[in-house]
Amino acid sequence: MLLRGLVPALAVLVVAVLASLAVGAGEVGPARALAVLGGGGDADARFAVLQLRVPRTVVAVAVGIALGVAGAVLQTAARNPLAEPGLLGVSAGASFAVVLVIASGASAASLGPWVAVLGAGAGCLLAVGAARLRGAGDDPVRLVLAGAALSGLLSAATSVVLLLDQRTADEVRFWTVGSVAGRDLGTLTQVGPVLAVGLLIALLAARPLSALALGDTVARGLGHRPARARALAMVAVALLVGGAVAAAGPVVFIGLVVPFLARALVGPDLRRVLAVTVLLGPAVVLLADVASRLLVRPYEMPLGVVTAMIGAPVLVAVVRSTRMPAL
Amino acid sequence: MSTLEAPRPTRGDTVADPADLVTEALDLGYDGTRVVHALDLRLPPGQVTAIVGPNGCGKSTLLGALARVHEAQGGAVLLDGRDLATLRPRDAARRIGLLPQQAAAPDGLTVRDLVRYGRHPHQGLLRQWSPEDAAAVHGALAAADLLDLADRPLDQLSGGQRQRAWIAMVVAQQTAVVLLDEPTSALDLGHQLEVLELVADLAAQGRTVVLVLHDLSTACRHADHLVAMRDGRVVAEGPPADVVTAGLVRELYGVEAAVLRDPTSGTPVVCPVRRVAATG
């Protein structure tokens, strides 16, 4: 069962990594890029592949793992297949926190990942609070509506900050639409440990979280503490989404699309879903990023726009399916 | 069980260590509303106890407290003489298994995956999946007669098969106490018997089984010990044949009834006549 998911996910990931290294919006095409990977290649190609595409690929892999795992964890904790960090306002919370701090005078370069993590944490709490409101928690679509309202509010607030402060606008445009272009490996030395801790917490909480899928009473009967499992899940999601936003800005829908595909491959068990997600998440982000370089050549489309274009139809498909898959 | 019932081979492993489950002056409730009052109860080890009573009498709340899912507001649940509240949740879950009413599983979950959840109390960070777990899951699937269906998704099974799969999850937990909340509700007659025969097997293996049941005649037929509750208090307790009378039915449900004898098992059968004012 697990192999049925891991093998195709790994194959897609390998193809996606090669494509990300080989394909660009600029002059260096696949033939010249592959020559570099073979150890040769001309100077221009070496620069494009080693200085631009390798760091970009590594950041995309990290972001893909983080957002995929965060989505799977959030969906299990909320027992809602639509609980996606981007849809529920978690990513928007992280972006807004960063924009607010930059607007109040801090420089984007000196900003660590913690502002984004705290923003994501606040977004998480607001989303969970909204889900606890009467009735909203029972109905997957209503939770997403509450999340969409929160996301919209935070985006509007971000826009207001940008309108008021022109200097900020240039520095923070990046934080309003996600992208992995122009990232260097320095990004990852800051964000990497945050993501690693988030991932570790998610893995530690996986067993109790998976039991929550049977309902709180059954989970308690099996010796779990549902409140503690949910708290751990929230911390993991805040770290993973905050770290991802700090590295690449808000990249939406990855947390919806990837667990959705993983569940289709290996069924609903969270631990198997996570195993497939850590391969499939990077693959989807990389493929979307490759598309972002090719769609409007020689320009690039921001990654966040591409993932939104992929994710929106998936969201509609999940909502429209005659029976919402219960989690 | 009844003496007239034809002997049927039991399935599954026997439990070496029967548990003694007792409540002492137990108070239970939600948000200030008291549901169960000063309840003293002893659940006979290795027997099937059925808890009956009108809707809202505190049956399910009591069952939850016996499994440590609801906290006591006063008094205590004692497991082998130890206060359940002082046990770590996982240790309690190794001794007591609970199947709540209308448990729901995610779509696509297979029978085997569901039963594997029963091993959670026996696993930890350092102790992951073991051969012992595999043996327990296999044993539980065999006990519930589900080996052929193990890899089918739950949502493709009949109601009776699905309920047996949930019970198999609790069996895989290998607990000395098994608590089942209305395991036969919404099942037809054949499927009810399917589940109740499995329950009888569990008790025959030395488990202390406690069922919440809706139907009084079913409870009489399939339980060794009956606990009748009303308004959070025990009204009557004992072997069904001794306890169930027309007076008890009137007191519990406000229903005038004729109590007959089951021609096969000799246990009481309740035939309601009309609704009257409740007494007591």
- Whether the complex's predicted ipTM is more than 0.90 is answered with no
Residue B3's pLDDT band (cuts 50, 70, 90)? very low
Task: Read off the pLDDT of each residue in A226-254 and give the average, rounded to a whole number.
Answer: 90
Distance CA B192, CA A209 (A): 32
- Note the pLDDT of residue B4: 46
Q: Supply the mean pLDDT for chain A.
A: 84
CA angle in degrees (0–180, nearest 5) for A122-A125-A130: 125
pLDDT value at B1 more than 80: no
Whether B280 is covered by a domain: the verdict is no
Whether B15 is covered by a domain: the verdict is no
Task: Read off the pLDDT of each residue in A69-81 and give the average, rounded to a whole number.
Answer: 89
Residue A130's pLDDT band (cuts 50, 70, 90)? low
DSSP 3-state of B228: strand
Angle in degrees, 0-180, between the axes of helices B131-143 and B159-172, rounded to the nearest 10:
140
Higher pLDDT residue, A267 or A71? A71
Task: Read off the pLDDT of each residue in B205-216 and give the average, rounded to a whole number.
Answer: 93
Percent of chain A clearing pLDDT 90 (strictly above): 31
Q: What is the CATH number of the domain that holds B173?
A: 3.40.50.300
Chain B residues interacting with chain A (CB cutoff of 8 angstroms): 64, 67-69, 88-94, 96-100, 103-110, 113-114, 117-118, 120-121, 123, 125, 170, 173
Distance CA B135, CA B40 (A): 38
Domains and CATH numbers, chain A: 2-47+57-320 (1.10.3470.10)
**Under a CB-based contact definition with an 8 Å cutoff, are residues B206 and B15 in contact?**
yes
Whether B201 is covered by a domain: the verdict is yes
**Closest residue to B93, CB basis, from A210, A223, A263:** A223
Name the minimum distance, in Å, from the CA of A205 to any CA of chain B. Answer: 10
**Under a CB-based contact definition with an 8 Å cutoff, are residues B220 and B208 in contact?**
no
Whether B226 is covered by a domain: the verdict is yes
Higher pLDDT residue, A128 or B81? B81
Domain of residue B169: give its range. Answer: 21-275
Whether B8 is covered by a domain: the verdict is no
- A213 vs B contacts (CB less than 8 Å): 105-106, 109
Counting the structural domains of chain B, the total is: 1
- Note the pLDDT of residue B175: 94
- Note the pLDDT of residue A138: 56
DSSP 3-state of B61: helix
Higher pLDDT residue, B275 or B279? B275
Residue A110's pLDDT band (cuts 50, 70, 90)? low
DSSP 3-state of A106: coil
Of B1, B77, B8, nearest to B36 by C-alpha is B77
Distance CA A296, CA A306 (A): 11
- A211 vs B contacts (CB less than 8 Å): 117, 120
Higher pLDDT residue, A171 or B156? B156
**Closest residue to A224, CB basis, from B98, B114, B120:** B120
pLDDT digits (tens, 9 = 90+) for B18-32: 778 999 999 998 877
Q: What are phi and psi of B21, to 5 degrees?
A: -115, 125
Whether B161 is covered by a domain: the verdict is yes
pLDDT value at B56 more than 90: no
Distances (CA, A) of B207 to B45, B178, B200: 7, 7, 10
Would you give the distance in Å from CA B145 to the centre of its chain? 19
Whether B153 is covered by a domain: the verdict is yes
pLDDT value at B13 more than 70: no
Q: Supply the mean pLDDT for chain B.
A: 88
Name the minimum distance, in Å, from the CA of A321 to any CA of chain B. Answer: 13
**Under a CB-based contact definition with an 8 Å cutoff, are residues A287 and A16 in contact?**
yes
